[in-house]
Amino acid sequence: MQIRRVVTRINADGKAEIASDSPVDPLTLAALPGLEFHRLWAVDGVPPLPHDADLTTGLPYFPATPGFRFGLFTIPPDSTQAPEDIDIAAAVAEVEEKLPGFAAYMELDNPGMHTTDTVDYEFVVSGRVVLELDDGVTVELGPGDTVIQNGTRHAWRNPFDEPCQMVVALVGATRS
């Protein structure tokens, strides 16, 4: 699914105008069918104004401090199967190419679990999902629900029959 992204800017006369109006394709991974990442806007550092350059490419998936990421995340049902003939080395290379630094935060012995130095704001647009925390603590979320993650260890699980779409904003934070 494409997402329409409209970006504004301030022109040379100091007036607001449309800088761009274009579709954004999802980033998908061959090893994880149905998982989609729409990287809609990103900055590492304090955002400069005026600013209209697309900085979403080339940046690590998780933001630095200060920095942020804004996007849409689609989680397929857990029943979605990976291809049987997957080339693991190619799959790892694809993750690193499309989502730089993402895999480094994932726990190998507990797939999906991860901890980042970010405050994450998540809003469920459609579908349902289960947020898993330490010691098996879970909470089910559905359309209209929000989560504010404060640097916690967590994973997203979708034991349901339909994909879950969430709007996400990740803000780089300092862990004390």
Residue pLDDT, tens place only, 30-42: 999 999 999 999 9
pTM recorded for the entire structure: 0.91
CA atoms of 81 and 88, how far apart (whole Å): 15
**SS3 state at 136:** helix
Q: How confident is the model at residue 52 (pLDDT cuts 50, 70, 90)?
A: low
Q: In order of start, what are the domains of the chain with their CATH numbers?
A: 26-172 (2.60.120.10)
Residue 140's nearest CA partner among 154, 120, 118, 159 is 159
pLDDT at 88: 85
pLDDT at 46: 87
Give pLDDT tens digits for 95-154: 999 999 999 999 999 999 999 999 999 999 999 999 999 999 999 999 999 999 999 999
Q: How confident is the model at residue 58 (pLDDT cuts 50, 70, 90)?
A: confident
Asked if 134 contacts 153 with a C-beta cutoff of 8 angstroms, the reply is yes
